[in-house]
Amino acid sequence: MATEVVMPKLGLTMERGTIGVWLKAEGETVQRGEPLLEVVTDKVTMEVEAQSDGILRRIFVEAGAEVDVATPIGVIATADEDISGFETAVPMPDAAPAACERP
């Protein structure tokens, strides 16, 4: 069964976190308990472990991006499992503000 990878809440007051680095790439096999990515907060950098065995099928949020706690950031599934339902559940990032040009 596919497992959604979400931004974990690493502390009582944590509301957002930054993906420091993905330790696995899309398409790589992962095992439960194996380090999957690093999350950076204002207080700590922590490794986050895979919650299931499978293949890291999709990374929704790239390294360097800051997202809210519980935001879907990836999905672990078997090679032949349909993960299309996970992809539609991912919120689209806010559009970047338009650059202001001065005359």
Is residue 63 in some structural domain? yes
For strands 35-40 and 16-22, give the pairing: antiparallel
Q: What's the whole-number mean pLDDT along residues 72-81?
A: 94
Tell whether 72 is covered by a domain.
Answer: yes
pLDDT recorded at residue 98: 47
Q: Which residue has the higher pLDDT, 39 or 93?
A: 39
87 within domain boundaries: no
Mean pLDDT (the chain, rounded): 87
Q: Which domain holds residue 38?
A: 3-81
Number of residues in the chain: 103
Examine residue 96 and state whether it is found in any structural domain, yes or no: no
Residue 58 maps to which CATH number? 2.40.50.100
48 Cβ neighbours under 8 A, 6+ residues apart = 5, 8, 35, 36, 37, 38, 39
Q: Report pLDDT for 90.
A: 53
Q: Give me the number of domains the chain comprises.
A: 1
DSSP letter for 85, please.
Answer: H
Is 92 part of any domain? no
